[in-house]
A and B are shown apart, each in its own frame.
Chain A
Amino acid sequence: MNSFFKGIFFKNIFFGWILLVTLAPFGIITYLETTTSYNALHNEITKNLSLIAKMKGTNIENFIIVSKNNATQAANSPFVIAATKELLQGESDKTRMVKELNEYLANIIQQYHYVDIMILSPLGKVIYSKNQPNMIGRDYSEIPLETTELGKTFDNAKTLLGTSLSNFQQTPQYKEPQLYIGSPILGESKNLLGVLIIQMNNVDIAKVIGDTEGLGDTGETIVGTVEMGQITPTTPLRHTSIAEFMSKEKSNTSKKMLANFRNATLGEKGVGGFVDYRGKEVLASWRYLPSMNWGMLVKIDSEESLQPLISFTKNIFIMGALTFIFAVILAYLVALKLQNTLDSLNKTQRQLIESEKMASLGNLVAGVAHEINTPLGAINASTSNIMHSLTRAFGLLPTVMQNLSSEKLAYFYDLLKRSLKSKIFLLSSREERQYKNMLMEKLEQNKIESVDIIADRLVEMGIYADIDRYIPFLRDKNNFDILQLAYNFHSIYKNVSNIGTSVSQTSKIIFALRNYSHYEHSDEKVLANVRDGIEIVLTLYYNQLKHGIQVIKNYQEVPDILCYVDELNQVWSNLIQNAIYAMKQEGTLTISILNRQDHILVAIADTGSGIPPAAKPRIFEPFFTTKRRGEGTGLGLSIIKKIIEKHNGNIQVESEPGKTIFTVALPINSLPTGESNRSNHV
């Protein structure tokens, strides 16, 4: 199993390709989809954050603007101006004016949840406080103004003669940081009567800032300033107190976060991702809050914000893994199937080659059976004929011998001598018949009886010319026995030579057959001579060649070559068979074996009809055939080409009507041992 898989996975080229083709689109789609989704989601989140920041910013701005307006309005109200004048003159705070002021300011404080509203003299002394009586009399001119937020606000309002805003300040007195808004109180001649201070805590602002709507589980808002290289929030954060934030920020030193926040306080707005004070990756939007000169930053943890994308990606990966497994299985199955198909194709090809060989062999079988059975029949018949002739001869011998005069003996010897000298089977049946008729005519002219029997015997004995000298002899009916005896001797001679011919014909066939597929399909080449192979094939096709086809052999001496003998025999067999087919059994077959130093050329030429020009480029293609359906597989020449290429040779064809030459070139390879060198030196 292991090696099986190994085979599939490492050797099978299909597997890799199928896997690639299956997974590549998936991979590309996943990549594009994830990237697109990430960008889309990222945009969506930062857009949301910006929206939230804008909304919150507006709320905080409004809140502060309203308070600033309150401060300005209050500072300009007649109650405040009148009461301030009184208070400056040292009037009691129980005056009607102050009572009215109390009522007026209590209203505002209640409505806007202020901590207190105070009035400071132009010199910085607290002359009025609605809710903090202990503050009255505190003189801010004695403490450096910039050390307290209240002092700074007072100073700003007095100097700039406009409403000003402090930063939040943490004091021991209050739990929450305090914020001061200062507005100058001016007399009729625009002289400074004092400064009205609204003191407020961050509760309401914190509500706005701390609102987590749309910020999920991790989102938080930071509003504040940058003081001494550190973000200083105005309100506690969602996850930490202000103090904890500042210490963490110091130790984690999130430079990017600080830089972005600083930019926000300088009036810029933007979006981006960075690592926050907790060391977490966040997405953020920051902006400037102009009325307070503060920066604002709304952020959310990437982990949370990108959660949908993460789970999307996770899903894709799970899907991807499943697809991968599926693709592997699919690819494996397909590869297996393809492998099987390829295997069976290879097998089919081998079978086809084999069957093509069997086809050409099958073509031979009829001829071969004929070729073997015919001489065997002739041997059989000749044997019995010899027996018969011998018996007849022995029967005739005593009578003939008794009556044999020296004159008759001369005739007898003459007949015998001529008959044994005559070439057997020189004449065709037709010629024999013509001579027989001629003889019969002659004998009849000479009034000889049984002309047909005598003529038949004479022609068979090869005596048909120059017979005048036998006329007197043949006239005597009694001499028929002598003729018969001579004929019997000739018959023995003829039948014996008949047997000889038959035996040599049979053994030739058997030799050829044995050699035709003598070498089993082995992967080893053997040394053999192409001439022998061609001779074997010619013997096998003898019965198709002997009538009507003249075979011209033009052989040069060629060395043995290393080759697959039976495959080369198949080549010769196919080419010769094609030639016979093309010539329709009539013409000249010229076989040339030429020695060309480094290669052997075998040219097989026929005088047949030739290859149609249109068919010529295709004749070496498998399954291409010009023969009728059933006559040929169309594989012969394609297989020949393969076999020759296997021998590093090549095959070429020239064809015109009446002359077709197939030329096979086979390289003369060196002998496996040093023998070739030695023979070269000799």
Chain B
Amino acid sequence: MSKKAIICVDDEKMVLSSIKEQLRNNFLDKYIYETADNANDALELVEELVDKGVVVILIVSDWLMPGIKGDELLIKIHNKYPNVVTIMLTGHADEEAIHNAEKNANLFACIRKPWEEKTLVKIISSALARVE
């Protein structure tokens, strides 16, 4: 059975580190948890994982990042890998961007920062249940 990966994208290291740990604490080592500092890095990472035969099943992305914004990133990934569940995690996103992601990236959920662990886990659990 091939490995499955969950990717977190945020320009804040603190967020990446803490969310990664939260996910691992809750979903244990069932998944590989990968992180990226920005959208370009994330796109590269996805390709890298796919090359290695890892299945990317979920991506949690921040919206406000330098360069490509979260909604654009999710759309790009969704267009190439329609099965990847897309989730936005953001401290501020204008409604237009959320709407854009919902429409063009089949956005599963938008989680607002500061997030609660319970909420995060609940949403990701239901997302994973849908995929598996």
Q: Is B72's beta carbon under 8 Å from chain A?
A: no
- Evaluate contact between A382 and B18: CB separation under 8 angstroms: yes
List chain A residues, Cβ under 8 A from B19.
381
- In the complex, the chain B residue whose C-beta lies closest to that of A381 is B18
- Residues 27 to 52 of chain B near chain A (Cβ within 8 Å): 29, 32-38, 41, 44-45, 48
In terms of DSSP, what is the predominant structure of the interface of chain B? mixed
Given contacts A373-B91, A374-B91, A547-B11, contact A381 B66 (CB under 8 A): no
- Evaluate contact between A502 and B14: CB separation under 8 angstroms: yes
**Choice from A366, A379, A453, A501 contacting B92 with Cβ under 8 Å:** A366
Given contacts A381-B117, A452-B32, contact A366 B14 (CB under 8 A): no
Q: Is A663's beta carbon under 8 Å from chain B?
A: no
- In the complex, the chain B residue whose C-beta lies closest to that of A425 is B13
- Evaluate contact between B92 and A377: CB separation under 8 angstroms: no
List chain A residues, Cβ under 8 A from B34.
429, 433
- Evaluate contact between A377 and B114: CB separation under 8 angstroms: yes
Q: Is B128's beta carbon under 8 Å from chain A?
A: no
**Choice from A365, A381, A453 contacting B21 with Cβ under 8 Å:** A381
- Evaluate contact between B35 and A425: CB separation under 8 angstroms: no
- Evaluate contact between B18 and A430: CB separation under 8 angstroms: no
List chain A residues, Cβ under 8 A from B114.
373-374, 376-380
- Evaluate contact between A378 and B92: CB separation under 8 angstroms: no
**Choice from A370, A425, A430 contacting B14 with Cβ under 8 Å:** A425
How far, in angstroms, from A587 to B17 measured CA to CA in the complex? 28
- Evaluate contact between B12 and A374: CB separation under 8 angstroms: yes
Number of interface residues of B (CB under 8 A): 40
- Evaluate contact between B92 and A491: CB separation under 8 angstroms: no
- Evaluate contact between A429 and B14: CB separation under 8 angstroms: no
Q: Is B22's beta carbon under 8 Å from chain A?
A: yes
- In the complex, the chain A residue whose C-beta lies closest to that of B116 is A380
Q: Is A371's beta carbon under 8 Å from chain B?
A: yes
- Evaluate contact between B91 and A370: CB separation under 8 angstroms: yes
How far, in angstroms, from A615 to B13 measured CA to CA in the complex? 41
List chain A residues, Cβ under 8 A from B90.
370, 373
- Residues 158 to 202 of chain A near chain B (Cβ within 8 Å): none
List chain B residues, Cβ under 8 A from A375.
12, 14
Residue among B3, B11, B33 with max Cβ neighbours from chain A (10 Å): B11
How many A-B pairs have beta carbons closer than 8 Å: the answer is 109
List chain B residues, Cβ under 8 A from A432.
35
Query: Binary interface profile of B, 102-132, with partner A (CB < 8 Å = 1, else 0)?
Result: 0000000000111111000000000000000
- Evaluate contact between B37 and A498: CB separation under 8 angstroms: no
- Evaluate contact between A491 and B21: CB separation under 8 angstroms: yes
How far, in angstroms, from A382 to B36 measured CA to CA in the complex? 19
How far, in angstroms, from A430 to B112 measured CA to CA in the complex? 26
- Evaluate contact between B35 and A429: CB separation under 8 angstroms: yes
**Choice from A384, A452, A498, A547 contacting B17 with Cβ under 8 Å:** A498
- Evaluate contact between B37 and A380: CB separation under 8 angstroms: no
How far, in angstroms, from A544 to B67 measured CA to CA in the complex? 11
List chain B residues, Cβ under 8 A from A88.
none
**Choice from B21, B22, B66 contacting A548 with Cβ under 8 Å:** B66
How far, in angstroms, from A373 to B114 measured CA to CA in the complex? 5
List chain B residues, Cβ under 8 A from A372.
91
- Evaluate contact between B18 and A374: CB separation under 8 angstroms: no
A638 → chain B, closest Cβ, in Å?
28
A620 → chain B, closest Cβ, in Å?
30
B4 → chain A, closest Cβ, in Å?
12
- In the complex, the chain A residue whose C-beta lies closest to that of B11 is A547
How far, in angstroms, from A378 to B94 measured CA to CA in the complex? 21
**Choice from B11, B12, B32, B64 contacting A378 with Cβ under 8 Å:** B12
List chain A residues, Cβ under 8 A from B68.
none
**Can you list 9 pairs linking A and B with CB atoms under 8 Å apart?**
A366-B94, A374-B12, A374-B113, A378-B114, A425-B14, A429-B37, A429-B41, A456-B33, A547-B38
Give me 18 other A-B pairs in contact (C-beta within 8 A), A425-B14, A428-B41 excluded. A365-B92, A367-B64, A367-B92, A374-B12, A374-B113, A376-B114, A377-B89, A377-B114, A377-B115, A378-B15, A381-B15, A381-B18, A382-B14, A430-B41, A432-B35, A495-B21, A502-B14, A547-B38
State the 5 A-B residue pairs at the shortest beta-carbon distance, nearest first. A373-B91, A381-B18, A376-B114, A369-B92, A377-B114
A interface vs B, CB < 8 Å? 365-367, 369-382, 384-385, 388, 425, 428-430, 432-433, 452-453, 456, 460, 491, 494-495, 498, 501-502, 543-544, 547-548, 585
